[in-house]
Structure 1
């Protein structure tokens, strides 16, 4: 099912998979990425494991509302500590809660990658009653924990390109640096999805505004320490964009969280790891359901 909802002053584009009788699971994508970056086969595997899956475009990405009037933020000033954010992660979290309301989902299992993990953490802290379980992948409780290497930061902040072909070439270069070097690079998939994402909405300023939200939203560690929710933290041991200490700190902050790390995994989800990752997510959601039923 494909749809749009109006909430929190924005329009959110979403897509769902599977039967609504399944365990409700919401996928939250990362910086500058769109719902299509959650591969349909990955979503299908989660459906096969008993879930009703929803993926969506964050604000300033894909077919959801873009804050064009806010313009391109000053990235140099932000890296120097002067962050001027058009919105915060709490606003992006409120978008998600509004989406859940529109879909009549009282609470869900949250899975977020990178910035999406930060949004998921924010929801769990602010509205724990909406969260059945939390899976935080390649993320961190604060920007300074597991900060990117200089090379990864350079790739992240590289100037915008001018056409579709250049966007695809830039993506291939970026993921050859930041992706999972211990696994085959899926060049065809990266090129295909990058092209589709360019066609849906190419908005480098929107990505920069999302980055400002991350930088301006502070440290969630203290809030995470107060959680009482089944949690799983997944991280690549060779992640250059959010390095392994980000995942370790997340797991250490959340009481009882399980930490699952993979050598050779970078800042992506290599297809070879999908079975073990989806099985781990399904194990967590099933456990959360059993605990809730007691």
Structure 2
């Protein structure tokens, strides 16, 4: 029979609670409306715990409800065991993800939720040569988790696609990610859409990102509108010189002042590689130059314009 630490703990608690503790357990679970009274009144402790698990109230790596219940009935010893078990489950889960990554070219943890404040990448202790794509869309990734990822990027030398959209990324730790990107020279795609990043975060990221010869697409779209002054806009223009292969830069939901935006347009003009620049039309000044052509349909269809760099001899196409 496969080892099941949870069931071992549930059984151990059930066998060692005295009658008064079992009565308190039932009363608390009923009084707090955690489970229906009709079920709890006839159930023993083991059955109550199993029902909590069945109703997904005791999720993998999170036994805080169980620990709280045990403390309510005065069993701090078992509450501490439950918390230790939850911590071990989270470590085991992280290791499984790492082992899976070692075997796969693409790792997609989209909408698995619940990683904010954790370090799920800490288990990656050796190079993962096969991993090409890492999709972490909508995982509640916060700054602690982002630092954990940045610390192991040197183990992902062949990574080509990194999706960190719809998370909780903000503040200086975005720059810590940028600082570590030199470990993944093959990276071609980065998306940071719909994160609570600010003007300062964008500026720090642009100033910190190293030269990345393979990067083709960068999506830097804040959850709420970010207002860049001319200095911050110029930092993006300077960033473009370190991204020689960039073909698409998404800056929608970012407002810019006249001088900074025109400086960026000039930087796009001077590139040797065609670059599509996406931005929110109503948030930037109107700008037209000789070699940049308006290709989008305006804010009615997607709320952004697409500017496409065109050479003197031919017009680039999608």
Q: TM-score, normalised by structure 1?
A: 0.30
Larger RCO, structure (CA 8 Å, separation 6 or more): 1
* The structure with more radius of gyration: 2
Q: TM-score, normalised by structure 2?
A: 0.28
Q: Which has the higher strand share?
A: 1
